[in-house]
């Protein structure tokens, strides 16, 4: 691991490399302890580089065996090699060839960056800077090269040999070894390099592109798990077709392979032609995967596939531009899922994710712009801001330009920049060029951190039928940016009449309003509508057109009305969610003050549950009150997680009691036949039924309903939810104890399902939570070295167990800090990601703040801390 040097990288320091690597030929002779890598690099000085510019290649913990320049072994004095750098001062004027031999020990690589072994399978992870753990290289995304890769390994242990591009040749070698050669004709940066070798099972299929080329598709999984990869294959084929139909983009190689491995730091990786996945995002069947798993697999298969154009064919000039590929590709996978599923339900899920993951980032010490200007450790910038807010920014471009001009802009982007390492400026320029608009103010979304706040106050002139909206925007200060500039915010609105329909209204001044969208470009702005026949309820930020926080003076009556009648389902959900959230905030502060609001909310939820005009998936979302973490975020300061927990439970009990018979009846009606389909509509019915199961169990106060659902479940969605209801509501009942034991016995040999078992127990609230989680770390199936397992137990405890993690005595923090320190020794990246769970510590009440600060300081004081963890901890401490 790299020990922190304190070096900070700045966007303004960017300059092109002095040398280009035109071709990269790699030979791997694989061995767990002594893998030999021979890299033959065809190098050329760039035209504007100084004649005497030295060649400085990146390394990370490398062992150099030999170095040959144009066929001559370089003498020891002719270069300088450390594990982290290779410098050659005297070089030929023209193009030259450099052969570098290094030796690696994949077996000892517990950081899971570079070449490592996962369950006996060799695999690689090179983004962002893992390639330098394989060989010395100009390991930066703007150095693009054509790769040819030869892999040699024993045939018995590694019958499958894969790399990027197309297969060229393969054959047998002496001593039971064999080899395969792969060639990727497309220029690519080193972070997209991949290699896989091992004994794997596979399923195959093919896809014919619209120009008539046949692409061989393969998904490789651990042997015996092949049947569980069929949904992923189906999702892949749908993704390929969708990208042709919606963006006109066709796949460009003869083969496309996906490999699933069980030890992986991230979700998945878009290596050219050879995507490598965390197996949790590939393997699924009804018995072992929930509907959420199916939806995630569909989305992530699509995401990585879509990178082939947005990321691979057009890559990032430098890592500051990470959002260029990620924000855009997240936007594309969101659109894909919206087309495959219900658009409104998908959008609400996106908004919830954005608010629960990105808003706290923007509001805390780790806030950074979508395109950061400085970093110490790039691995720490794979954040919700870069991904999710990055996607929102692309969505706003489409809102501002309209769908047609947006597509023209995308077409121009591919035409103009194919084969480039591009920047955010390049991306914005294509939209300016096709639309003739000036997007310079809009570009602040990329450059300025923080969630903009918009407040709206309204006056209605009954006599003149005129409505006036006074709108004000501001961006709260964030670390390193105390003063903020005024942004261009596209705010979609609707004026809803008493019959629930949208009223026709003409803007008095049309310059800042078009097609239902107000373009806020000033700090204060007034928009007037005339010709209204009645006072409308105002539906704001429809479709969540801008990722902002919003305050508006609206009566409870109007909000309740919108929660039932807004024609925009996303805004309808927002109205309801806002009411629930406000009520929870109020009752968590003054518990005794149970106004009649709870009763009215229970009534609205009852009506929504019974409303057949609404799709079940929407009803399930609407019936789920904001999480404890959501409420904490809305409160923002002096947070007492215990009070929020009580308030939320109280509200759930009131809703459950008020609708007891109706919910029980509906729960019964939704019980479908036994045939399972993972499609969105069936999943929606299961989701609604599961929400109702929780309410019904709360109303009855006994575990019978959940226990019987657990027993009779015919799929994992029903079984896992029943187990969660049992564990969370009735943790000590015998039915719960035996269901937990049954689940463990049933799925003990399936790591992905066992992760759910850990997860469910990690989220049981209350006093016993910490002891329970501590006990589970001693469970035979728990492994501190497997990222999925660590995330499911330790990560889930910190992120989703508000009362357990935030214990008033600080022991939850101490336990968590100890685990972070333990994980860091093996895997700094995973440790750093875990540590972000401390990001909102300043919002807590003073006692908890003190405990959290002490634990952060304790981590920061550990000698020899990695850059990854030190960077997060120090920024979090501020």
Least Å from the CB of residue 401 to Zn ion? 24
CB neighbour class for 426 (10 Å; exposed up to 12, middle 13-18, buried from 19): middle
Q: Closest CB to Zn ion among 310 and 800?
A: 310
Which class for 66: exposed (0-12), middle (13-18), buried (19 or more C-beta within 10 A)? Answer: exposed
Those residues with Cβ within 8 angstroms of residue 412's Cβ, 6 or more apart along the chain or in another chain: 430, 433, 434
* Closer residue to Zn ion, CB minimum distance, 322 or 344: 322
In a 10 Å sphere around its CB, with 0-12 CB exposed, 13-18 middle and 19+ buried, how is residue 2 labelled? middle
The residue among 129 and 326 lying less far from Zn ion, judged by its C-beta, is 326
- For Zn ion, which is the closer residue by CB, 387 or 618? 387
Beta-carbon neighbour count of residue 664 at 10 Å?
Answer: 17
Token pair belonging to 857: 């300081």
Q: How far is it, in rounded angstroms, from Cα 409 to Cα 739?
A: 55
Q: What is the DSSP letter of 795?
A: I
Judged by beta carbon, residue 382 or residue 813, the one nearer Zn ion is 382
Clarify whether 704 is annotated catalytic: no
Least distance to Zn ion from the beta carbon of 128, Å? 12
In whole angstroms, the minimum distance from the beta carbon of 485 to Zn ion comes to: 29
Least Å distance, CB 160 to Zn ion, is 25
Tell me the site size for Zn ion, rule CB under 5 A: 1
> What is the C-alpha to C-alpha distance for residues 703 and 710, in angstroms, rounded to an integer?
10
Q: What is the rounded (10 degree) CA torsion for 818, 823, 826, 831?
A: -120
**Bridge partner residues of 459 (DSSP):** 468
Tokens of 575: 């109205």
Question: What region, left, alpha or beta, does residue 523 occupy, with left being phi > 0 and alpha being psi -120 to 50 degrees?
Answer: alpha
Minimum CB separation of residue 332 from Zn ion in Å reads 10
Cβ closest to Zn ion, residue 112 vs residue 269? 269
Per-residue contact flags (x/-) with Zn ion for residues 327 to 346, judged by CB under 5 A = --------------------
User: What minimum distance in Å lies between the beta carbon of 439 and Zn ion?
Assistant: 24
Which residue's CB is nearer to Zn ion, number 139 or number 326?
326
Integer CA distances (angstroms), 110 to 279, 494, 783, 842, 855, in order:
18, 54, 12, 33, 25
Span 290-329, contacts to Zn ion by CB under 5 A? 326
Element containing residue 643 per DSSP (H, E): helix 641-658
Within residues 77-106, the interface with Zn ion by CB under 5 A covers none
Given the complex with Zn ion, which of 28 and 319 has the nearer CB atom? Answer: 319
Min dist. Cβ of residue 400 to Zn ion (A):
24
Cα–Cα distance measured from residue 229 to residue 329, given in angstroms and rounded to the nearest whole number = 23
Q: How far is the CB of 306 from Zn ion (least distance, A)?
A: 8
Q: Which of these, 534, 537, 492, 527, lies nearest to 507 by C-alpha position?
A: 527
CB 170 within 8 A of CB 183: no
Of 323 and 727, the one with the shorter C-beta distance to Zn ion is 323
364-393 positions binding Zn ion, by CB under 5 A: none
The pattern of x and - marking residues 574 through 593 that bind Zn ion according to CB under 5 A reads: --------------------
- DSSP annotation of 764: -
Cα(407)–Cα(389) distance, integer angstroms: 20
Nearest approach in angstroms of CB 333 to Zn ion is 8
> Which is closer to Zn ion, CB of 308 or CB of 761?
308
Backbone angles phi, psi at 535, to 5 degrees: -75, 120
Longest dimension (CA), the chain: 94
Which is catalytic among the residues 129, 270, 298, 304? 304
Cα-Cα-Cα-Cα dihedral of 182, 186, 188, 192, to 10°?
A: -50
What would the two tokens of residue 486 be? 């005024």
- Read off the tokens for 755: 């992760």
Q: How far is the CB of 311 from Zn ion (least distance, A)?
A: 7
CA gap 802, 644 in Å, rounded: 9
> How many angstroms separate the CA atoms of 347 and 345, rounded?
5
* Three-class secondary structure of residue 197 per DSSP: strand
DSSP category for residue 478: B
Q: Distance between CA 705 and CA 723 in Å, rounded?
A: 11
Interaction site with Zn ion (CB under 5 A): 326
Q: Which residues are catalytic?
A: 304
């Amino acid at each position: 691991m790299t020990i922190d040097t304190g070096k900070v990288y700045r966007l303004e320091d960017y300059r092109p490399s002095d040398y280009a690597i035109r071709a990269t030929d790699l030979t791997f002779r694989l061995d767990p302890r002594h893998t030999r890598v021979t890299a033959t690099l065809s190098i050329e000085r760039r035209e504007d580089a100084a004649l005497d510019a030295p060649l400085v290649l990146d390394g990370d913990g490398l062992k150099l065996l030999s170095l040959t320049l144009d066929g001559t072994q370089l003498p020891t004095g002719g270069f300088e090699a450390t594990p982290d750098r290779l410098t050659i001062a005297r070089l030929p004027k023209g193009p030259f060839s450099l052969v570098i031999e290094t030796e690696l020990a994949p077996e000892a690589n517990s950081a899971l960056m570079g070449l490592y072994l996962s369950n006996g399978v060799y695999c690689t992870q090179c983004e962002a800077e893992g390639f330098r753990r394989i060989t010395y290289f100009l390991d930066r995304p703007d150095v693009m090269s054509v790769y040819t890769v030869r892999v040699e390994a024993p045939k018995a242990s590694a019958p499958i040999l894969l790399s990027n591009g197309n297969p060229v040749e393969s054959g047998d070698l002496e001593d039971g070894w064999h080899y395969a050669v792969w060639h990727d004709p497309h220029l690519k940066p080193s972070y997209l390099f991949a290699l896989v070798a091992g004994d794997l099972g596979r399923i195959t299929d093919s896809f014919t592109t619209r120009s008539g080329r046949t692409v061989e598709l393969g998904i490789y999984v651990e042997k015996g798990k092949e049947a569980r990869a069929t949904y992923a294959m189906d999702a892949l084929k749908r993704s390929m077709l969708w990208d042709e139909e919606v963006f006109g983009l066709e796949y460009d190689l003869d083969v496309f392979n996906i490999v699933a491995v069980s030890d992986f730091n991230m979700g998945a990786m878009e290596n050219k032609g050879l995507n490598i996945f965390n197996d949790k995002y590939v393997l699924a069947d009804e018995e072992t995967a929930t509907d959420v798993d199916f939806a995630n697999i569909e989305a992530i298969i699509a995401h990585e596939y879509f990178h082939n154009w947005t990321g691979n064919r057009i890559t990032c000039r430098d890592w500051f531009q990470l959002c260029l590929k990620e924000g855009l590709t997240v936007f594309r996978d969101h659109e894909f899922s919206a087309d495959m599923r219900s658009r409104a339900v998908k959008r609400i899920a996106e908004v919830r994710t954005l608010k629960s993951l990105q808003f706290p980032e923007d509001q805390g010490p780790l806030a950074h712009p979508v395109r950061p200007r400085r970093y110490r450790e790039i691995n720490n910038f794979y954040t919700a801001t870069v991904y999710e807010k990055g996607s929102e920014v692309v969505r706003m471009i489409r809102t501002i330009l309209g769908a047609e001009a947006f597509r023209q802009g995308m077409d121009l982007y591919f035409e103009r920049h194919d084969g480039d390492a591009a920047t955010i400026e390049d991306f914005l320029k294509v939209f300016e060029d096709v639309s003739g608009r000036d997007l310079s103010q809009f570009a602040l979304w990329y450059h300025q951190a923080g969630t903009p706040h918009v407040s709206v106050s309204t006056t209605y002139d009954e006599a003149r039928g005129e409505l006036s909206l006074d709108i004000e925007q501001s961006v709260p200060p964030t670390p390193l940016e105390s003063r903020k500039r005024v942004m261009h915010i596209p705010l979609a609105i609707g004026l809803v009449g008493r019959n629930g329909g949208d009223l026709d209204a003409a803007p008095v001044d049309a310059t800042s309003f078009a097609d239902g969208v107000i373009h806020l470009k000033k700090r204060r702005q007034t928009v007037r509508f005339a010709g209204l026949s009645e006072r409308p309820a105002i539906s704001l930020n429809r479709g969540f057109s801008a990722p902002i926080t919003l305050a508006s003076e609206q009566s409870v009556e109007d909000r309740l009305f919108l929660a039932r009648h807004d024609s925009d389902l996303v805004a309808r959900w927002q109205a309801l969610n806002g009411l629930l959230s406000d009520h929870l905030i109020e009752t968590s502060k003054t518990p005794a003050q149970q106004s009649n609001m709870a009763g009215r909310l229970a009534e609205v939820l009852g009506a929504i549950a019974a409303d057949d005009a609404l799709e079940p998936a929407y009803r399930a979302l609407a019936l789920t009150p904001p999480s404890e973490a959501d409420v904490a975020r809305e409160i923002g300061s002096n947070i007492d997680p215990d009070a929020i927990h009580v308030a939320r439970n109280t509200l759930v009990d009131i809703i459950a009691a008020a609708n007891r018979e109706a919910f029980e009846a509906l729960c019964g009606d939704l019980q479908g036949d036994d045939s399972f389909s993972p499609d969105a509509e069936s999943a929606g019915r299961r989701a609604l039924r599961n929400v109702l199961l929780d309410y019904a169990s709360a109303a009855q106060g006994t575990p019978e309903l959940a226990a019987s659902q657990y027993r009779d479940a015919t799929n994992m969605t029903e079984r896992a939810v029943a187990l969660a209801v049992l564990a969370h509501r009735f943790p000590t009942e015998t039915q719960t104890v035996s269901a937990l034991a049954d689940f463990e016995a049933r799925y003990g040999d399936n790591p992905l399902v066992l992760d759910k078992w850990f997860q469910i127990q990690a989220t049981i609230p209350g006093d016993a939570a910490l002891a329970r989680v501590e006990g589970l770390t001693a469970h035979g199936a728990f492994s501190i070295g497997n990222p999925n397992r660590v995330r499911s137990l330790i990560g889930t405890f910190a992120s989703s167990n508000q009362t357990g993690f935030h214990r008033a005595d600080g022991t939850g923090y101490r336990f968590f800090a100890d685990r972070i320190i333990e994980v860091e020794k093996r895997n700094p990246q995973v440790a750093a990601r875990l540590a972000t769970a401390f990001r909102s510590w300043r919002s807590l009440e003073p006692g908890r703040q003190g405990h959290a600060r002490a634990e952060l300081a304790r981590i920061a004081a550990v000698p020899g801390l990695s850059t990854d963890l030190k960077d997060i901890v120090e920024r979090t401490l501020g």
